[in-house]
Amino acid sequence: MYVIEFVEKLKSVAENIKDDKIREITLSILNNPILSFTDVKPLIKFEESPAAPRKHHMFTGGLFVHTYSVVKIALALCDIFEEVYNISVNRDLVIAAAILHDIYKYYQYVRDEKEGGYKARDDWYLSHDYAIVAELAFRSAKDDLIRVVSEVHGIAPIKTYEGLIVHLADTIDAKLGEYIQTNALNILKQLEQQISKPYEVLDEVVKLEGVKVLGLLSKNVEEFVKVIQKFVQRVYT
């Protein structure tokens, strides 16, 4: 499945963290993302998880696409902060927070058997932003990492450049992902005579073709439609 490529890319980036303790805890959670402080179990696999069931990156593996993009954007912002404004940034904290900020989202979701894709589960009480902070504290992470991760989603006021950078990167990619996804779904909904479950079809096509199939929307919409129609004809007729 295409998502494995993004998992390996994230691990490779994490291995470049210079601070031993930050690198160790980031890789530890990335390699085994089970919450240690609760007996609650996820209902989907880590590699399956979307970034959000409907808002952005709703497809299987969307969490890893989003996370890797956040890392890349965050590092680009580090370059800008340092080159343009002469601001020193701790890249270890930026990389770790970018990788970890959404990592426990998969605990929140379950397969949507009715509409396709995923939906929020009803029996889990803790959102991913609080879950990662609790897990980092439980695993005795460094205070500066806990602080930056807390700032990304607004649990704590943003008072570090590292927290600001990851927050901005997260916002940018979420908006980008939502824009691309909305365009794709609008096209699928125009084909409503053929497609009754657009979320299901989009999810399945991305799983089959990889996330870069969405890039056709910026190059050749007709080709994207052909990919969708070919899939629908093969699977649903």
Residue 194, domain member (yes or no): no
Give the domain range for residue 48.
Answer: 3-178
Which tokens sit at 159? Answer: 């008072």
Residue 235, domain member (yes or no): no
Residue 215, domain member (yes or no): no
Read off the pLDDT of residues 41-83 as tens digits, 9 standing for 90 and up: 999 999 999 998 888 898 999 999 999 999 999 999 999 999 9
| CATH number of the structural domain spanning residue 39 | 1.10.3210
Residue 82, domain member (yes or no): yes
DSSP 136-204: HHHTT--HHHHHHHHHHTTSS---SHHHHHHHHHHHHHHHHHHHHHHHHHHHHHHTTTT-S-HHHHHHH
Residue 105, domain member (yes or no): yes
Q: Which residue has the higher pLDDT, 66 or 193?
A: 66
Comparing C-alpha atoms, which of 136, 141, 139, 135 is closest to residue 21?
A: 141
**Confidence class of residue 145 from pLDDT cuts 50, 70 and 90?**
very high
Region 77-104 average pLDDT: 97
Domain total for the chain? 1
Read off the pLDDT of residues 214-230 as tens digits, 9 standing for 90 and up: 999 888 888 898 888 88
Residue 225, domain member (yes or no): no
DSSP annotation of 198 reads: H
DSSP annotation of 77 reads: H
